[in-house]
Amino acid sequence: MSKHVLIGVDIGTTTIKAVFLDANKGKIIGTELEEISQIREKPDRAEYEAMVWWNAVKDIISGGMKNLNIEAESIAGLCFGGFTVMGFMVDKDGNPLNNPTHYTDMRHMKEVEELEKQIGQKAIEINNNVMGPYNTFAKQYWYKKHEPELYRKAKYFMTEAGWITFKLTGEWSCNRSEAGFCAQYDYKTRQWSEEILDAVDIPVDKYPPLFDAWEKVGEVTQAAASQTGLAKGT
């Protein structure tokens, strides 16, 4: 069977959406979506439950395949994007250690000010972005300071797209286009900047391997295939 269907999944603020594309015809076959909710327990907090993301992704992939009569063997590949959270820690097995934060979560404003004074100019030189509230490095630094036990347990800080990719493939990754939102990403070398990380004593191995958006990260595992309806090895 011809492998001609591509699936793109966007993990958004209020909705997770999948687009199914016929690559041979260059046409969208259809879409599938599921709404998700934020957790706002305090005025400065905006979080999600990571497993809600995973369950929604499973639903829209399997539901879209069923509703559009797409056979698993016809799917050539999948890709994922999102709003780039990275205030999200996982353990060595990929289990979430905290509720991922949205970019409107503002608990880290003191850390923004601290980092701006300490490495603000250097961050501009390395990352080409200011150390503002939407720079996700300050969110990660907040967890290091205020949730030290979770931080010590964490294997990686992840994006939502990178984590979902791990759930499907068992491979760790971070998309460079998403890493660009973080002060510790060096846009010249296209790698994590140890100079920025050393300034606040965060080891570079707290961050997953970097990939370009068009690079293959891995293949769907048997476990993920049984949960999504995808074929193993996709």
Angle between helix 50-67 and helix 160-169 axes, rounded to 10 deg: 60
For the chain, how many residues are written? 234
Q: Where are the beta strands (DSSP E) in the chain?
A: 5-11, 15-22, 27-35, 75-82, 89-90, 156-157, 174-175, 185-186, 191-192, 210-211
Across the range 103-117, mean pLDDT stands at 95
pLDDT band at 134 (very low <50, low <70, confident <90, very high): confident
pLDDT band at 143 (very low <50, low <70, confident <90, very high): very high
According to the model, what pLDDT value does residue 43 have? 93
Higher pLDDT, 108 or 135: 108
Nearest to 42 by CA among 115, 137, 108: 108
3-state SS track over 167-208? HHHCCCCEEHHHHCCCCCEECCCCEECHHHHHHCCCCHHHCC
Across the range 140-161, mean pLDDT stands at 97
pLDDT band at 219 (very low <50, low <70, confident <90, very high): very high
Q: Is the pLDDT of residue 109 over 70?
A: yes
On whether the pTM is more than 0.85, the answer is yes
Q: What tens digit of pLDDT does each residue of 2-11 get?
A: 889 999 999 9
Residue with tokens 């934060």: 101
Residue with tokens 């999944």: 9
Across the range 112-118, mean pLDDT stands at 95
Residue 130 corresponds to which tokens in the numbers above? Answer: 């200011």
Q: Is the pLDDT of residue 183 over 70?
A: yes
Among residues of the chain, what percentage have pLDDT more than 90? Answer: 92
Higher pLDDT, 54 or 135: 54
Q: Is the pLDDT of residue 39 over 80?
A: yes
pLDDT band at 133 (very low <50, low <70, confident <90, very high): confident
Domains annotated on the chain, with CATH: 5-228 (3.30.420.40)
